[in-house]
Every structure is written in structure tokens, then in C-alpha cells.
Amino acid sequence: MSVAFSGITGWVLFGGLTLVTGSIAARWLILPRRSSREPELDARLTREAARLGVIGAVAILVGLLLFFGRQLVEFRDPFSPWSAEAALLLGTPWGRTWLRAIIGAALLTFAFVMARRVPAGWVFATPLALALGAFPAFTGHAAAADQYTPVFLLADTMHVWAAGAWVGGLAAVLWLELSEGREAPRLSLLATLVPAFSSVAMVSVAVLVLTGALASWGHLASLTTLFSTTWGRLLLAKLGVVLVVLGFGARNFRILTPRLGTDSGDRAMRRSAIAELAVMQVILIVTALLVRTSPM
């Protein structure tokens, strides 16, 4: 399969994971920390967060099916029937992990649909979303580590959660701002959403740095492989884009956040956040390629 297909399918899968994690972060970490609370508005925003979760869960399901189909094609014996190949894949621990993830994504979609109607839906959606965040670790390089496998599995899972809270949390802020703008065009929620998101983003970045450093130490044979292998060069490219995104975040926090609450400040923050989110998509694509590339 082509590199482009790997990048696209990986972006769909990881994009879905970030959206559902961002939806969960919005529900439990961002919305409760808003400085201005109104029961009716809070209920609308919570429903919109669940709608974003539905979109993310569907993206995960599509991404998983695309990935599984690609694996089936890559490993298929042209002289065997498709049913035999599928049975062989599903009969392995790897295949059963994929099957559980597909079922979990379908259940997660239903849970988010339910969360739009009754609060209890979040009780089911939250653990399902967190469990699916562990999927890349159990099907990627961390699961193949010779030593300290549980440590790397936990680190990779926390890396996905933190990335979802950061990238998905920003997407949730923009989504909630846009959705409420349709209801009340003159009302901007950025002045209450952005400060609540900033603390989540800071903690997420710290976790990303720590878990990313641990994963790099576990997968790199030496520093020279950063430059001599495709995996190492992709990692350097990812780090470069991450620095760009951190620059956006620092500018937003230090310069634009104090201006929120004014028309010009809200517009500037909105444009900057959209640009930051767009650059973040490059990180997701590079990450999708990293998980498909051998560290050796």
C-alpha cells in the first residue's frame, strides 16, 4: 500500500482518537472550569461536546476498518480465499485486538449519541474512549519492545491521551465556540473557554514531552539513528512541527488571551487557534507514518 494511503488512514484514525478524547476533556475538564456558568448554556455545550464525540467515534470506526482492510490485503495469500485470510487474522491476538477495537468504536458511537440525550451516556463514553486510546500502543512498536513492555505500553497510551486532550481539546473549544455562535451570533465563549483549556494544554504538553522522550529512548538504538533511519528522520520532522505548534500556544497564552472579551481579541484568538489546529494535523499525519515505519 502507498505511503499516502497509510498517511490518510492513519490521520483518520488518530484524528478520531483526538476528537473523542477532546470531547471527554471538554466534558470533564474544560466546561466545569469555565468562569461563567449558566445551566442552560452548560447543557447546550455538553450536548455539542457529545456531538463532536460522535464525529470522532465514527472517524475511529472508519479508520480502523481502513487499516484492517489494508492489513488484510498486505498479508493475503493470493491463492487462498478471503474468508480463510480473515479467519487467520481474527484467530491471532493481533487480529482479536483489532476486532475488539472495531466493536469498541461502534459502542462508543452509540454512547456519544446517548450522551447527547441523557447525561448517563458520558459514563459509558468516557471509559470506552480511554480504552480506545490504548489501541495504538497494543498494535504498535510499544507492544514489540523486548524489555519493559508494560512501561512502554503505558507511556504510549498516556501519550495518546495527552495528545487527544491537547489537540482534541483545542478542536473542542473551537467547535463549542462555533456551535454557540450559531445560536447567539454576538456571543463569544472564548473568554471563558480558552483559560479553562490552557491549564489542560499545559499538563498535556508536559505529559507528551515525558512519554515521548521515554518512547524515543526505547525505540532508538543510538542518537545516530535519528539521522540514518527513516523513523528517526520522521521523528525529527514531528518534533520540528511540535515546536511550531508550541510557538502558537505560547503566543496565544501570553499575547492573545489577555485580549479576550473584545471583538478584535476574539477574532485574533480564533484565527490563531484555527491556524494552530491546522498545523497540528501535520503532526497527526507524521505520527501515522511513524507507527508504520520500523525504528531500525
Question: Can you spell out the DSSP letters for 116-128?
Answer: TT-THHHHHHHHH
Q: Output the furthest CA–CA distance in the chain (Å, rounded).
A: 67
* Residue 23 CB partners (closer than 8 Å, separation 6+): 49, 50, 52, 53, 56, 112, 125, 129, 168, 172
CA–CA separation, 191 and 16 (whole Å): 27
Mean pLDDT, 10 residues at a time, over the chain (296 residues)? Answer: 78 96 98 88 95 98 86 66 66 80 96 96 97 88 61 92 97 94 71 95 96 85 84 94 96 95 92 97 93 80
Handedness of CA 139, 144, 145, 147 (dihedral sign): positive
pLDDT for 219:
76
pLDDT for 162:
98
Within 10 angstroms of residue 38's Cβ, the number of other Cβ atoms is 10
pLDDT for 273:
96
pLDDT for 77:
64
Integer angstrom CA distances of residue 42 from 49, 140, 191, 256 = 10, 38, 15, 25
> Is 287:12 a contact under the CB 8 Å cutoff?
no
Within 10 angstroms of residue 207's Cβ, the number of other Cβ atoms is 18
pLDDT for 13:
95
Structural domain spans, the chain: 3-290
